Chain A
Amino acid sequence: MRIAFEEMKADRLLAARTEHGNVAPVLLARGDVPGELRTDVPYQMANILLRVVPYLGSDRVAVVARKCDEKAIAEMSKRGLLDPGKVSLIGLACDARQVSECRCSDPCPSKVHIGECVKAAPADKEVEDLLAKTVPERLEFWTAQFRKCNKCFGCTSNCPVCFCDECLLEEKTFTPEKGIPPGFAFHLIRSIHLADKCVECGECERACPADIPLLALRKMVNRDVKELFGFVAGDGETTSPLLTTLDGEPMEDDHDVC
């Protein structure tokens, strides 16, 4: 509260607090009664920020953000979805449990306001195990996983960097309306569309009612993108290799294609 409104001079604070025995995302204005603000924020605040931005007008907002939120916000501002000058970050360090849950390699925010940074996780065992399998084995594994999908779109609607104007997953050439589970295209399209944006926050995996290891899938694609293009999503400067000309020049406009 104090950091947001006094130090950062923000007009709004996006945080989490206790409501009705649960933890709720909350957008506060200067002077609002803060209630019981929480430091254990179970929400992906960057995703919620993206949803509230259209209603903020010219207000400046401070948001409680983990490192992955910080990266997601960088990807958003690079694509013109929000004005980085209007957003201040209240850095939240992930604790050891969270780091191990995400097998996170980069858990420490640029500036820490809440909590203390812990060590990054060693290599992701889930990914290593999968890569150790043969291709047919891997196909079998993913087929069995995808069979459980019930097309809730939780993986897209909770993802902080899933923001195409028209979602191909809702388009019938690739995902015809034939009930569930959706075909491979559903998951593959999503993988490719996030290849240059995914910040490995793990929210898709947590939102998945079918417990499909979506974070492992994301990490495997991200690894390929890094190997092929030397690109890692999450900083405010580097243009995605998918958005440059074939000669590596940044394209002029149209930065918000997906």
Chain B
Amino acid sequence: MSVKHVLTTCPYCGTGCNLFLAVADGRAVGVIPCKTDETSQGQLCIKGYNAHAFVHHPDRLTHPLMRKGEQLTKAGWDEALQKTVDEIKRLVAEHGPDSVMVLASAKCTNEENYIFQKLARAAIGTNNIDHCARLCHASTVAGLLQSFGSGAMTNTIPEFEDADCLLVTGSNTLEAHPLIGARMLKAMEKGAKVIVIDPRDTPLSRIATISMRQEPGTDVAWINGMINVIISEDLYDHEFVAERTTGFEELRELVKSYTPERVEEIAGVPRQHLIDAARTYAAADKAMIAYAMGITQHSNGTNLVRTLANLAMVTGNVGKESSGVNPLRGQCNVQGACDAGALPNLYPGYQSVEDAEVRAKFEKAWNGELQAHKGMTLTCAFNQALTGEVKGMVIFGENPMMSDPDIGHIEAAIQKLEFLAVIDIFPTETAKLADVILPAACYAEKDGTFTSTDRAIRVVRKAVDPPGEARPDWRIACELGRMLGNDGFAFDSPADIMNELAAVAPIYGGIDYERIDRENVRWPCPSKDHPGTKVLHTGSFKIGKGVFAIVEHTPPMEETDEDFPFILTTGRNLFHFHTGSMTRRSVKLQRESPEPYVEINSEDARQLDVLEGQSVRVSSRRGSITLAARVTDWIRPGTIFIPFHYAEAAANKLTNNALDPIAQIPEFKVCAASVEKA
């Protein structure tokens, strides 16, 4: 008998805490925090402490399954892979490569995502590759790329601790990114002012210096309002604006009409709070903005992100330590999946598929012709499946039947597909609809890397064997690539794959396994002797000058009316993760938050005669679900909140799939809903 401690990376949020999995006789039995880890400093959140809990769950998929009529029956690897390859070949031959969509996964490693996109591009011949970043930070990637030239966090996690002012909006940091929240608490302890703007009270807003509850969907208004105060009181950074930005005069014109009075009318934010917030933010020497889905998941998400970038730039709060704009990425490897090119318009390292020179480089590297037009986004692919243009999908580790807006629509789209293969660790709601299911290894059962939200390349190390016949996703994808007739998939290990990724993506140029085994390196890291980069845009922006965006407030796509008088907003809580397929199989996490619930303001509840814990029916124009009421003053009247972790009352049956026109991210954060006693 023996016990070993394997250093690896937490499989939950994008903070990227390292931890030790305690392994006894081949089983993961516990978690010990890593005291010397730069990110976590020997502390974890409850999800991290329970990262071992789902690994050996009896529901794990252990062998391939194939559909025979209504039934999914046990199959061998050879026949399941062959069937998948035959179907892909048939669809490509009959309908062209764009009839196939590949969904990559923010839960898989960088190396795996690299292989997934190469599978789509080089082996199948389509740029139809996307993943759930579309649902969370697509608007960040697009927005910050336009404003600054790079779509990632401008600073690193430890820097939060040394800021003088933190502006946190649309992020429930203490619950969704607890160890980043911990840094914010440390900053507060040292005297930093914290401003929180959120329609719900969050654990952080309740202890913040200034807390404002805006009406969902009015963010452009309050941000422009802050800029209005900053410019009219001459609190802006003249030097920075003159030297490092363009478009200031237009911005000055734009914000003139966003007076605190008008903002109060639109957003319901008391004018004095807005003024205080603007003064506090502008007065700080080092101010950091942190935001998450509350900003991005809107039908104007890209513009919203750019408005936040405006706010940082007018005050000169970009490009130095502890000052910047910081999207907090939700999944352990959503940053890395984007970096590795699991996006329909970008090759690995954010290089455009429409740029002929770049394309030529990849054609040479991958030894074959590549498609010149960009591929389909995930949200678009489901629409196209409904109309019959997309006929086959290969889904690696994603669960759109829970995670995507308007599930009814997703299900109809999947039913119309001629072929669906799902590669996953659990029989998810999506897998149950598949023609072929291939069992995958989870994070504890394979080697690889995740890139955390602050661009650090963190190592995932194999601690235990996969259950039954399950295999790591990279092996499965390589096998598919090889069987499709492409000879660019002969990799022996994730280290080999990283070498190829580093060769084609300059931001990863200096990354190799020997180095990251000991060192916490953050991209851009163009060469082996480059130390990696902590702060982005220090001397100048990646695109030269920072660009102010001119964005007016527009109402959300769906407004409330008599039948649907509430604004529904969705999100997650501390104890569960996304579609719940891992956390709801973890005993301690499930105990902390066992059932679905809807948060409703106590005044609204009184009018509806609804008591705490009572069952209510929540409906939108797309469907209804029944769940328990949680009556609270922590949410503003007229707004309700539902966490989206629970299959038995899936919030995404209700949400609207109205899309941001630029990034095609759906509006998860605002839809009209009604509440009645069930």
Contacts and interface: CB of A to CB of B under 8 A. Distances in A.
B45 to A, nearest CB: 5
Interface string B170-210: 00001100110110011001000000000000010011000
Given A147-B207, A157-B49, A209-B43, A43 B517 contact: no
Interface of B: 1-5, 7, 18, 20, 22, 24-25, 29-30, 32-37, 42-46, 48-49, 174-175, 178-179, 181-182, 185-186, 189, 203, 206-207, 459, 517-519, 573-575, 588, 591-594, 630
A55 B24 contact: yes
A251 to B, nearest CB: 31
B268 to A, nearest CB: 24
Contact of A55 (B1, B185, B574): B1
12 contacts: A19-B7, A22-B36, A24-B5, A27-B4, A27-B5, A51-B29, A55-B25, A152-B46, A152-B48, A154-B43, A177-B592, A179-B573
Given A180-B203, A181-B203, 16 more contacts: A21-B517, A22-B18, A27-B2, A51-B22, A52-B22, A55-B3, A144-B207, A150-B174, A150-B178, A154-B33, A157-B49, A179-B593, A206-B42, A207-B42, A209-B43, A209-B182
Nearest to B630: A178
B178 A57 contact: no
B43 A207 contact: yes
Contacts of A27: 2-5
Interface in A183-208: 206-208
B7 A210 contact: no
Nearest to A172: B591
Contact of A150 (B34, B37, B203, B206): B203
Contacts of B459: 20
Contacts, number: 122
Contact of A24 (B7, B203, B517): B7
Nearest to A54: B24
Contacts of A115: none
B591 A177 contact: yes
B591 A150 contact: no
Contact of A23 (B3, B36, B179): B36
Contact of A22 (B29, B34, B574, B575): B34
A154 B44 contact: yes
A211 to B, nearest CB: 6
Which 10 A-B pairs have CB atoms at the shortest separation, nearest pair first? A21-B518, A209-B182, A42-B35, A209-B43, A22-B36, A55-B24, A52-B3, A55-B1, A23-B36, A152-B45
Contacts of A158: 33
B224 to A, nearest CB: 32
Most buried by B among A26, A148, A152, A170: A152
B457 to A, nearest CB: 13
A243 to B, nearest CB: 28
Contacts of B203: 147, 150, 179-181
A211 B186 contact: yes
A178 B30 CA distance: 25
A22 B9 CA distance: 13
A85 to B, nearest CB: 19
Interface of A: 19-27, 29, 42-43, 48, 51-52, 54-57, 144, 147-148, 150-154, 157-158, 170, 177-181, 206-211
Contact of A43 (B32, B573, B575, B588): B32
A123 to B, nearest CB: 24
A27 B185 CA distance: 35
B668 to A, nearest CB: 20
Contacts of B37: 22
Most buried by A among B20, B45, B592: B592
A28 B182 CA distance: 34
B594 A177 contact: yes
Nearest to B178: A150
Nearest to A16: B35
A48 B1 contact: no
A178 B591 CA distance: 11
A180 B175 contact: yes
A188 B630 CA distance: 26
A42 B41 CA distance: 11
A135 to B, nearest CB: 23
Contacts of A23: 35-36
Contacts of B29: 51
B35 A20 contact: no
A224 to B, nearest CB: 28
Most buried by B among A20, A52, A148, A170: A20
B24 A20 contact: no
